[in-house]
Structure 1
Amino acid sequence: MSMHDFIEDAKRGGIAIAGHRYFKANNPKMGKAFNPSKPTTWISYIDANNLYSWAMSQYLPIGNYKWEINAHFTLKTHDYLSDLPPAVENMAVNKNMLCPYTTELVDKLNGGRFSATKKLAPHLGPRKEYIIHYQELQYYIKLGIIIDEVIEILSFDQTNCLAPYIAFNTKKCQGAKNAFEKDFFKLMNSSVYSKTMENVRAHMGKASMTLNKPIIVRASVLGLSKLLMYRFWYGYVKERYGLFKDETPISVIAESIHIRGKSYHYVLANKSTTSKHKGVSKKGISEIATNSYIFDLEGTLLDDPVDRSLLSEEEVKNLAIQTEADPITLVYQDCLFDNKVFYAKNVGIRSKDHILSLVELEKKGLCPIDTKRWILSDKITSLPYYYWRIQAYKNFISNRISPELAEE
């Protein structure tokens, strides 16, 4: 039972943060809205295809290394790791941890009411009794995390027995001739993962329960999927383009991303695959070299809302599809810069005591309050908690330095 509880504590879901909450593109494709006197910049959406399927194809525990450790980040690693701190954990963000801007929003929008709920917030504070997969630990040590103590080790045998199954479904999904076939084989992979994460404790009407789900596989898949993203970010993007480094102008980085978008590749294994782009060679990132595991690095170029009155008829026609999302973008800007809260309605069928009813729910859709990071006064830039610059800011404030000067 203690071993089962140990593994349950290792479960951490996906990371969802907006470290930089607003960015405006400026490039020739924006027509007359393009300002040539300013740096040319692009917004690109980058995604990892079939992320969990990749993780399920790795060597996974089947019975008979997980580590529980105490660790910390040295101050010299803070600047490098501040955009995406590794070894994420569920932490309760207390009100006294909030930045002045967020505290002001809580007082204004929530009447000062604040609940310190646990959330997955990447931060640079110490890790206490932190449970982590050994492959994650190996890589995070390379990034600079310092191990203070190894408290407990859970060893296991491992195999990549799921790899052929995942590869088969992935190949069938790629060759699908209709939406049904594509969704079917995609769900065949997802259903296996879903069973590993089934929480039998939540079953209703049970006098007793049997903890018989392979939750150690779930914890490993979640950990390995994060590891892949961290390897991509720190092992490729930051090494190649120096993103967020002071010595590299962000405009140069942004422009080179667009110009060289199709030449992107991420290498973990020296496996080549065919590419849908002529003259472009991609390399796989796993022992099973299939397109499903290739990062969608060409991505989607996104533009800021464009004033159609500034564009020619042909330019308006070309941008018609892109500008369909303008109302949503404007709502987001109102939320971010004007501190407006937006609600969304959802209508669905609910069953209670075997009686069906149509229920309309109104929930908070957009809110400027974000407690996962320390937000600066520009409402856009943010820092991870326990970053040394936050403590420096607090020291300046305690010495009666103005907030504006302290932040600068």
Structure 2
Amino acid sequence: MTTAPESLRAETARRARLGLLLACFALLLTPLALLADKAVVPLVLATAAAGGLLLGTPALPWRIVDRPLALCLGLLTGWCLIASAWSFDAADAAKLAARIGLLLFALLYLTGLTRFLDAAQRRRVALGFCLGFAATLLLVVVELAFQSPLLTLLRGPLAGDYATYSRLNRGISALAVLTWPLALLAWQQQRRAVALALPPAVLALTLFSESSASMVALAAGLLAAALAAWSRGAARLVLVLAIAGALFAAPLVVEVVQQADLERSRIIPETGQYRLHIWSVVSERFSERPIFGWGFDSSPALPAGDAQPFRTGGKIIPSHPHNGGLQILVELGLIGGLMTLGLLAVVAGRIDRLAPAQRSAAAAMTVTLLGIACTAYGIWQSHWLSVIGAAAAIFVALLPAPEEASSVPPPRS
């Protein structure tokens, strides 16, 4: 028969192992996002599964996940599955929707696991994250300075400087997002100068890369951090404008650019003109089926003609529209857009409850994420969703431990 002290010791040992597991996860996350971005997906899934197995019954999913967020994710996943029925390839779309739903719930579960960490375990996670971030920052500097020697060794040579530097884009995007949890950690440890200098330093680094999306998004994040630090009302306004703009602003931006005759202006770089052209075509398709959309994962096959004026031989719409909000609207319609709005509103509500410094960093990270999502990646790319969810898990893990970290966290209502 197991005595109470033995049971307590076993529980403490399991939580200590969870802390070590999440510290290893934090250490590996940023380097993998740079060197092997697709490996972030199995890293997330393996960490979530191993953490659940380590803790056992107390970590059953329905006990630790954020229930309103889980409900929103369930509704959105269900609509993705339904919308697969009228996609161009219904079977493949349904399979992708199921995989994306599983990944999203794994990310939510991973974030829930962080609630079991006490102060000492959170320090261990923080150390792993700092080491991984610093190593990745150093690698990016070396890759930019010497024309990507490590990535060339790992993936082979590519023709042209742009092709070489663009390999760094996903890693630089991850750095831009993960800058904010690290800045918050420095602030909480009373290293205010480091906290204030880190985001501008990473922004300066993006100027030497080809990741214009990360550069613009991180600059917007800096502005959001400054505004959110002003007051709670300002933070709310930042989140409302960022979320609404990310989901619904693309068609309006296209219309304004067309009316101002800026589509071919030298003010806008070629990559920006290319994206605006894609958004224009996709906005037209959305206007044709605004309620239900064209079907989940239908973007690459949307009718758009065969010619486009920027890249000879290239499709008008590549594998995605380079705008997550517009992709959701054209594929899932206004129904999917409103479901996504509800999901992000719940996230904004969680951010609103945080202490001022935490709220400012969370708002800045949200704006940075949304900025990249609206200019760079396909919204269903699993590596990108994994970076988003992993950043959220790291952010929560670096918050101060609850007063009674040794007790089993109650279910969230």
The TM-score normalised by the length of structure 1 is: 0.31
When Rg is computed on C-alpha atoms for both structures, the one with the higher figure is 1
The TM-score normalised by the length of structure 2 is: 0.31
